[in-house]
Structure 1
Amino acid sequence: MVRLYTDDLNIGYGERLIVKNLNIQIPDKKITTIIGSNGCGKSTLLKAITRIIPHHTGEVILDGENIVKENTKILATKMAILPQTPESASGLTVGELVSYGRFPYQKGFGRLTKRDYEVIDWALEVTGTIDFKYRPVDALSGGQRQRVWIAMALAQETEMIFLDEPTTYLDMAHQLEVLELLQKLNVEQQSTIVMVLHDLNQAARFADYIIALKDGEIVKAGNCEEVITHDVLRQVFQIDAEIGKDPRTNKPMCITYNLIKGENKHEKTTDSIYSTFAVNY
C-alpha cells in the first residue's frame, strides 16, 4: 500500500534545480532509507515531501491529496520530521520539549489537556526517556537527546516520521540504539519511517526499501538486495565496492571499497582548488 508518492517533482533553490522529475513511492508502514553522496538532494527531498520548503513543479500526494493544499495542522497530525541538527531553546526540560509535539491538537490558549499529558508520558516511555522528563535537554548525551526528539515526534501521534541523518554525531553504540528504536516503532506502532542515512550497512540492515539518489535523480529503488550492489554503488558513489553478507542478518553489506580513479568528483574539485591556490599564490 502506498499513501505517499511524488509525481514529476522538481525542487531547487532559485534557478538551480536540485531534484529533477522525481517519481517515488513511499511504502506504508515500512522503513525507507534514502542514500546518496553529499549534495545529491537527499535532505532537500525530505524537506519538500514534508512541506518545509516549496517545490518548483510536480506534486507530493498524501492520501490522495496534494500536500500544498492541506491544512498545516492537519498535515502535522499525519507527518513529523526531525531535521539534521534539531535545536531547542536553552533551558527547556525534556517534558517541555516533548509537549511541543502536541501543538497540532491544541486549541484556544494552547493549554495541555489530560489527553496531551497521557500522550507525552507514553512517548517518553516508548523511547526510554521517562526518567529524563524533568531534566534540561542540554544536560543529556547525544544519544539521549536524539531519543527525546523522537519522543517529541511520537507525541504528534503521526503515522509517518521523517528523519534527516538521525545518527549524525553519535558514536556506534548510540547510532545502533537510535536505529533499533526506530525499528521498534515501525514494528510495534506500525509507523512509516523515512530517513536519510550515510552508512550503507546501517541502511541495508534496517531498511525495507532503499532509494539511491545521484544528482537529484533516482539511480535505483528497491529492497536492500536490489540497491546495495557493486554496480549501483559504483554509479552512486564512484566506488569499487566488495559486497558480502552480514552474518547476523543475512543482508548485503559493504565489506570494503576503493575510489574509482578519475570518476571521483571530490578528487577533481580538490585538484582544482590546489591549482587555483598555486596560481594565486
Structure 2
Amino acid sequence: MVRLHTDQLHIGYGEKLIVKDMSIEIPDKKITTIIGSNGCGKSTLLKALTRIIRFQSGSVILDGKSITKEDTKKLAKKMAILPQNPESAGGLTVGELVSYGRFPYQSGFGRLTKKDIEVIDWALETTGTAEFKYLPVDSLSGGQRQRVWIAMAIAQETEMIFLDEPTTYLDMAHQLEVLELLRKLNEEQGRTIVMVLHDINQAARFADHIIALKEGNIIKAGNCEEVVTNKVLQQVFQIDAVIGRDPRTNKPMCMTYHLLKGEEHHEKTNFAVSALSRATS
C-alpha cells in the first residue's frame, strides 16, 4: 500500500535544480532509506516530502491530496520530521522538549491536557528516556539526546516519521541503538519510517525499501537485494564494491571497495548503465 508518492517532482534553490523529474512511492508501514553521495539531493527530497521547502513543479501526494493544500496542523498529525541538526534545546528539560510534540493537538493557551501528559510519558517509556524526564537535554550524551528527539517525534502521534541522518555524530553502539528503536516503532506500532542514511550496510540491514540517488536522479529503488549491488554502487558512489552476506541477517553487505578512476570508472559505469537498462526494460 502507498499513501505517499511524488509525481514528476522538481526541487531547487534559485536557478539550481537539485532534484529532477522525480516520481517515487513510499511504501506504507515500512522502513524506507534514501542513500547517495553528498549533495545528491537526499535531504532536499526529505524536506520537500514534509513541506519544509517548496518545490518548483510536480506534486507530493499524501492520502490522495497534495500536501501543499493540506492544513498545517492536520499535516503535523500525519507526519513528523527530525532534521539532521535539531535546534538547540538549551534550558529545556527532556520532558519539556518532548511536550513540543503535542503542539498539533493544542488550542487556546496551549496547556497540556491529561491526554497530552499520558502521551508524553508513553513516548519517554517507548524510547527508554523516562529516567531523564527532569534532566536538562544538554546534560545527556549524543545517543540519549537523539532518543529524546525521537520521543518528541513519536509524541506527535503521527503514522509517518522522517529522519535526516539520525545516526550522524553517534558512535557505533549508539547508532545501532537508534536504528533498533526505529525498527521497533515500525514493527510494533506500524509507523512508516523514512530516513536518510550514509551507511550502505545500515540501509541494507534495516530498510524494507531503498532509494538510491545520484545528482538528483533515481538510480535504483527497491529492496536491499535490488539496490545493494556492485552495479548500483558503481553508479551511485563510483566505487567497485565486493558484496557479501551479513552472517547474522543474511542481508547483502559491502565487504570492501575501492574508488573507480579514469578509464576504469568510465568502462564500469557504461557496463552498469547497460546492465540496469536491460534489467528494467
TM-score tier by shorter-chain length is over 0.9
Query: Structure 1, residues 218-256: CA drift from partner, whole Å, max 9, x if none?
Result: 000000000000000000000000000000000000000
Query: Compared with structure 1, are the counterparts of its residues 263 and 207 closer, same or farther at alpha carbon in structure 2 (3 Å cutoff)?
Result: farther
Does residue 159 in structure 1 map to residue 159 in structure 2? Answer: yes
Does residue 191 in structure 1 map to residue 195 in structure 2? Answer: no
Does residue 114 in structure 1 map to residue 97 in structure 2? Answer: no
Shift of 1:262: 2.5
Instruction: Supply the distance in 2 between the matched residues of 1:151 and 1:25 (Cα, whole angstroms).
Output: 26
Aligned amino acid, residue 186 of structure 1? N
4+ residue runs over 2 A deviation:
262-265
Give the equivalent residue in structure 2 for 1:89: 89
Show the 5 A alignment for 1:118-129: 118-129=118-129
Instruction: Supply the distance in 1 between the matched residues of 2:98 and 2:114 (Cα, whole angstroms).
Output: 15
Query: Structure 1, residues 41-82: CA drift from partner, whole Å, max 9, x if none?
Result: 000000000000000000000000000000000000000000
**Contact 2:89/2:138, CA 8 A, preserved across alignment:** no
What TM-score does the superposition give when structure 2 sets the normalisation length?
0.93
Give the equivalent residue in structure 2 for 1:100: 100
**What is the RMSD computed on CA atoms of the aligned residues?**
1.1
Give the equivalent residue in structure 1 for 2:5: 5
Query: Structure 1, residues 151-173: CA drift from partner, whole Å, max 9, x if none?
Result: 00000000000000000000000
SS in 2 for 1:158: coil
Q: Structure 1: 5+ residue runs without aligned partners?
A: 266-281
Instruction: Supply the distance in 1 between the matched residues of 2:85 and 2:21 (Cα, whole angstroms).
Output: 28
Instruction: Supply the distance in 1 between the matched residues of 2:122 and 2:114 (Cα, whole angstroms).
Output: 12
Does residue 255 in structure 1 map to residue 259 in structure 2? Answer: no
What TM-score does the superposition give when structure 1 sets the normalisation length?
0.93
Give the equivalent residue in structure 1 for 2:30: 30
**Contact 1:88/1:97, CA 8 A, preserved across alignment:** no
Equivalent residue pairs, number: 265
Instruction: Supply the distance in 2 between the matched residues of 1:16 and 1:123 (Cα, whole angstroms).
Output: 40
Instruction: Supply the distance in 1 between the matched residues of 2:176 and 2:95 (Cα, whole angstroms).
Output: 24
Shift of 1:87: 2.0
Shift of 1:264: 11
The alignment-based identity, stated in percent, is 81
Q: Structure 2: 5+ residue runs without aligned partners?
A: 266-281
Show the 5 A alignment for 1:171-210: 171-210=171-210
**Contact 1:238/1:264, CA 8 A, preserved across alignment:** no
